[in-house]
Amino acid sequence: MTLSEKIQQLKTHKVYGRYYGVGLLVMLAFLFWAFFKILTPDNFGSWEALSYYLQYSIIYSVGACGVYFIVTMGLFDFSIGANVVLSSIVGVILSKTFGYPGLIIGCVITGIIIGILNGFIYVKLKIPSMIVTVGLMLIYESLAYFVAKGEKQSLASDLRGLGVAPGNIIVSAIMFVLAYLILKYTKMGTYAHAIGSNENMAKNMGVNINKYKVLGFVTQHFFVGVMAILAVSYGTSMTAVTEMSSMARNFTPLMGCFFGVAFRKYCSPIVAIVIGEFIISIIFNGFVALGAPTTIQNLITGAALLIIVALTLRSVKGTVVK
């Protein structure tokens, strides 16, 4: 039996087949950890360090869970990073008066408003989502600058509980469970896949496409709003940026989302997102431990993503891939 045939047998095994996806991801995480651990045993990969890598990764995992809804529908949203910046700044400003409630409500409500705006403008103007969200990103960046009056916004030291364990883990776990429940147990989950699969047919089946696309944007930005809470709590401050600099914050949650999409056949996409982001965090921190420059880190992280997704997706020969 060839290796390919053995893998196929494993995938379809009645017992082990269910754990194929998770098993593969855990194995990849271990392999990357082992690789860097061998290269730099003193600087990398202790239990404490792994806990740190995980806490770093779950910030983006929360955002990636939201992004999954939009990507599944076949849409793009380049305003994720701008949401993080604007929501964080609003949250920090409100926290100065209202403490934790201000932080949480400020971030979440800002995220939801951004989601409503993105969705509404997209369905009304009927312009491709990529273009709509790039335009809105510029607006949100500018708004963040005005709201922050050009100043760095720092979170008070007694309000940083959600940036460390167990606060960040509890919040993240709640969001992961919520994402899982929405995907599996609500119409939103079914319709997101239906719209992404064949929008015309879904429409003919009575799915209100525009409504669920707007809901998709709202759901995504709700999760990104929570990601903003975790990000600013972890980083302790946020500075407004302009000239599309916020786009740099789009890519890590997007990469995690791709893990979810690639592994959907084998396991819950939420599980794949969480482990996928952890793998990215291991790679990133591994290169930091090695002292590699940032450009090399980004190059290797991007390459690792391409390799992992290409190996795991393995489209049938001759299928159209766009």
Applying the rule CB under 8 A, the residues between 200 and 239 that interact with other proteins are 201-202, 204-207
Q: Which is nearer to other proteins, 149 or 265 (CB)?
A: 265
Question: Per-residue contact track with other proteins, 299 to 318, x per CB under 8 A?
Answer: ------------------xx
User: Contact 140/86 with Cβ under 8 angstroms?
Assistant: yes
Per CB under 8 A, 8 contacts other proteins? no
SS3 263: coil
Q: Which of 265, 292, 296, 307 binds other proteins (CB under 8 A)?
A: 265
Per CB under 8 A, 187 contacts other proteins? yes
SS3 13: coil
Is residue 44 packed enough to be buried (19+ CB in 10 Å), middle (13-18) or exposed (0-12)?
buried
Size of the site for other proteins (CB under 8 A): 21
- Rounded to an integer, what distance in angstroms lies between the CA atom of residue 132 and that of residue 84? 18
Q: Which stretch binds other proteins (CB under 8 A): 59-67, 192-200, 272-280, 298-306?
A: 192-200
- Rounded to an integer, what distance in angstroms lies between the CA atom of residue 295 and that of residue 237? 24
Buried b / exposed e across 45-60, counting CB within 10 Å, b at 16+?
beeebbeebbbbbbbb
Q: Which stretch binds other proteins (CB under 8 A): 143-151, 180-188, 240-248, 280-288?
A: 180-188
Longest dimension (CA), the chain: 67
Q: Which stretch binds other proteins (CB under 8 A): 23-31, 125-133, 146-154, 179-187?
A: 179-187
Q: Which residues bind other proteins (CB under 8 A)?
A: 181, 184-187, 189-190, 193-194, 196-198, 201-202, 204-207, 265, 317-318
